[in-house]
C-alpha cells in the first residue's frame, strides 16, 4: 500500500505530473470539514509533515485524499 508521502514523491519525480495540478485534502484540527491545500503552495515535505509556503505543517497522518487533475491518486482507507 502506498502512503500519501509516496504519492507526492511520485508526482515530484514522474514526467507529466505537476505538483501545481494537485489538491491535498486533510482532516482539520478545528473545522469539521476537510481542509485543503493546492499543490503549488506546498514548499516541501519530509517523513512526517507537508510544509506550506504559509509556514504551516500538515502531518501526513491527517491527509485523507490527494487529487491530481481531478483524479484520486490517494484515498485513506477508513
Predicted confidence (pLDDT) per residue in 58-67, tens digit: 999 999 999 9
Q: What is the mean pLDDT of residues 13-20?
A: 94
Q: What is the pTM of this model?
A: 0.92
Query: What is residue 10's DSSP assignment?
Result: H
Residue 73, Cα to own-chain centre: how many angstroms? 10
Is the pLDDT at 29 greater than 90, yes or no?
no
The percent of residues in the chain predicted with pLDDT above 70, rounded, is 100
pLDDT band, very low/low/confident/very high, at 77 (cuts 50, 70, 90) = confident
Mean pLDDT computed over 28-57: 95
Q: Which CATH number fits domain 4-75: 3.40.50, 2.30.30, 3.90.550, 1.10.3470?
A: 2.30.30
Q: Which of 1, 3, 2 is nearest to 63 (CA)?
A: 3
Query: Domain extents for the chain?
Result: 4-75
* Residue that the C-alpha cell 484540527 belongs to: 29
Amino acid at each position: 500500500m502506498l502512503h500519501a508521502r509516496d504519492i507526492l514523491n511520485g508526482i515530484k519525480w514522474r514526467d507529466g505530473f505537476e505538483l501545481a495540478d494537485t489538491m491535498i485534502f486533510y482532516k482539520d484540527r478545528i473545522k469539521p470539514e476537510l481542509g485543503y491545500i493546492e499543490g503549488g503552495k506546498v514548499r516541501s515535505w519530509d517523513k512526517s509533515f507537508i510544509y506550506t509556503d504559509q509556514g504551516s505543517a500538515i502531518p501526513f497522518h491527517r491527509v485523507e485524499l490527494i487529487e491530481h487533475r481531478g483524479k484520486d491518486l490517494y484515498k485513506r482507507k477508513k
